[in-house]
Structure 1
């Protein structure tokens, strides 16, 4: 009998070897080689065959030919379009000359590329030849043209994000997988309302509708505000109030239309709107107060654009009135944005509220020995010499007070353009008075102190200059 085969004697202290890092790396290398081998096999079977290489070459030739033809025909087509625009009526030609460069400079050559690519695709399809590469190139060229034209009308900070997002959609559409990707993404979302579902399609539709309605509201607001500005019998403040009301109403309408178009029930916003109103009432009291004050200012016309006002230490011309603040430009070019509440609750000096005529006063001193009547006449002549000073009412010079050292007089004259400055015209009048007083011997008082020394007074003298000189020499 043969003995059964017994297993080899294994010492209890010896354990089975664990997989080493070298084995793991070798397995990864083997898998990488296997993937590479499969890819190369697929390329050999489906791409690198003579038939496929010829088809790829033909498609690449069509693409290159379309690019060359676009470069050749673009200048010629541009000349034909410019020639056609020059033959249009004058009003139509001016508008066409403004719009044409925006479109032709960025879109003419890509449009010709697209035309030749679609012609090439149709020709290959009619001949029964593959046209996948040409279709992808035509789709990408079309996307490039559309993105280029649309982004020209967007704000500068929004162009790049919109461009990258649009290019992602264009690449997916050109590869033919856009619908599948959208269906897969739409599976993820959050339930909303009665059977609603917030997903990518909902967000994209909401963004698109909001952008569409806001753009329409902004465009219509500009047109209506321009029309309101031309109303002849309406005060400027009422025109501003109407323009702001139109703008706010249109944007509220845009928000309501956006929510309605994407299926958000407006009735469900009542509770949220009430809570939001209470929160705004406590947290935005100043803003609401300025808003209401702006409506009051625009309706009662106490302050109007181009009025000259003085608030605290601010003196200037009202450039514009808004619902939150008023813009006041001072004579030194500074533009102060004063909250409307301050204009309603504080004391405001309106130099041109009911009439644009303003009286300016300037006081001066004359020596007692001078001819006061001559000084008053010269003062009136100096006022009349200035072109900004009105002849009616005529300027006057009043004797105000007999002072201790001199006679105090005051020049009073009227101007009609306070927005051009008050102090500057006062300075010009004073300069004119100075010249006339010197010419006619009218003396102005010079401040001086009189020292009297009696017989029993003691006078002490110190040579300060000599001492200072000795200190310098030391």
Structure 2
């Protein structure tokens, strides 16, 4: 309700009163001194504290040392203590009963609520008993301000326990402090006044004001929509990666497109929820786009190259590739780079633009069958046909070498010092390495050459001394000697 108080010195003073829990809260509304001709009134949001600030001793004698006021306060303190004690005594057995009921639920549900339900029992009991005490005081016509404050704080604690259980650790503490702040302000009956005061400070902008309340609202709205977008993106990416008849590269492209679309939609919903006109962002977005086009050319080029790679499927996860002296298995493909793990365990992040513009050897593009070639030499005195058979036998007895096509040994060249042979064999697991299987093949060939007395010649140089030539030999003594 609203009434008008007696004027003082020709000035009209308005009083606004609100009935809450049987208690009447009033605040004064005085006209703005600057508006002498009936201008806008300025509200005194903290009129409830004026008596305490103007005359603290008189207020204490009237409201604290007065027995009519002190006894209801003691009754309320006793009710609060009784509710807290009763909740502490009943919490352990109820917690055990709740844990037993949770254990009977399906495992998928019990796993999610097993750690949550026991933490909510004690604050839930305290909030329940304090609420019942508040109802009892109101029904008896007694002052229940302290009980109502304690009930609000207990309810805030229960809400903090319930909400923060399902949120990331980085968000729990700020959200908990925010809920505590609103609960304390609400408990003391100054929440509306505080929100109104905080909403009227800050610089104005088109259609509103950048106030602390607006900033908190913007952060909460953005956090909510981004959390929903992240949750949906995670679930949908899991479903996309489980599609049986879709290529891995298309799965990555679809999952990335879903994630970008969801986050873009979350940004639009956040702006719409805050009342920010989207049409005003068109000019700003165009200017930002031009700036990003000049300053982020490489990033944009890698992004477009990533889309091309994921679309044409020239390089896929688990492919064995060789680019810029890097040989390894493609672990993952992203919109900016590809992750390639080499045989020595190093993970190379290769930009997508390099995979498009540079020469790339894909050892497993169409299939994983790869032919490996290695050269070796034998002496001219060697039984050449026997050496060829031994080389083929040594390659065929290597575990990773395929038997079909069978290994072959070719005579490549009659060199100046030895006969050049080349062994050719096939493998179907290039991701396990090529040099190691070549080493095993050459070791098997070496063992068979040793068994049959075949030598591998060393390089040597002949010095020819023609008739009639002389060799001049000089002995020189060093300076130290």
Q: Are the structure 2 counterparts of residues 128 and 299 from structure 1 closer, same or farther at C-alpha, using a change threshold of 3 Å?
A: same
Aligned to 2:101: 84
Q: Mean Cα displacement is larger for which, 303-312 or 436-445?
A: 436-445
Which of the two has greater helix per residue?
Answer: 1
Aligned to 2:124: 111
Whether the 8 Å contact between 2:98 and 2:117 is mirrored in structure 1 is: no
CA distance in 2 between partners of 1:401 and 1:171 (Å): 93
Q: Are the structure 2 counterparts of residues 112 and 431 from structure 1 closer, same or farther at C-alpha, using a change threshold of 3 Å?
A: farther
CA distance in 2 between partners of 1:146 and 1:387 (Å): 64
1:222 aligns with 2:239: no
Q: Which of the residues 269, 286, 305 maps onto 1:274?
A: 286
- The within-5 A match list for 1:449-464 is 456-457=470-471
Whether the 8 Å contact between 2:98 and 2:118 is mirrored in structure 1 is: no
- Cα offset, 1:68, TM superposition: 2.8
1:63 aligns with 2:76: no
CA distance in 1 between partners of 2:347 and 2:396 (Å): 33
1:135 aligns with 2:148: yes
Q: Which of the residues 172, 175, 178 maps onto 2:188?
A: 175
- Cα offset, 1:182, TM superposition: 0.8
Aligned to 1:98: 111
- The within-5 A match list for 1:298-309 is 298-309=310-321
Whether the 8 Å contact between 2:95 and 2:118 is mirrored in structure 1 is: no
CA distance in 1 between partners of 2:359 and 2:70 (Å): 87
CA distance in 2 between partners of 1:70 and 1:348 (Å): 70
- The within-5 A match list for 1:189-338 is 189-193=202-206, 195-338=207-350
TM-score scaled by length of structure 2: 0.81
Structure 1: stretches of 5+ with no match in the other structure: 1-34
- Cα offset, 1:71, TM superposition: 2.7
Aligned to 1:150: 163
Say which SS state the counterpart of residue 387 (structure 1) adopts.
coil
- Cα offset, 1:447, TM superposition: 4.2
Q: Are the structure 2 counterparts of residues 435 and 462 from structure 1 closer, same or farther at C-alpha, using a change threshold of 3 Å?
A: farther
Q: Are the structure 2 counterparts of residues 105 and 427 from structure 1 closer, same or farther at C-alpha, using a change threshold of 3 Å?
A: farther
- Cα offset, 1:440, TM superposition: 2.3
Offset from partner CA, 1:382-430 (integer Å, 9 cap, x none): 2222222111111111222222222222221111111111111112222
Structure 2: stretches of 5+ with no match in the other structure: 1-51
- Cα offset, 1:271, TM superposition: 1.6
TM-score scaled by length of structure 1: 0.82
Say which SS state the counterpart of residue 336 (structure 1) adopts.
strand
CA distance in 2 between partners of 1:378 and 1:436 (Å): 6
Offset from partner CA, 1:370-393 (integer Å, 9 cap, x none): 223222222222222222211111
Offset from partner CA, 1:43-86 (integer Å, 9 cap, x none): 34422344444433333333333333333322222222232233
- Cα offset, 1:458, TM superposition: 5.2
Aligned to 2:31: none
CA distance in 2 between partners of 1:87 and 1:153 (Å): 22
Aligned to 1:16: none
Whether the 8 Å contact between 2:99 and 2:117 is mirrored in structure 1 is: no
Aligned to 1:371: 383
Say which SS state the counterpart of residue 114 (structure 2) adopts.
helix
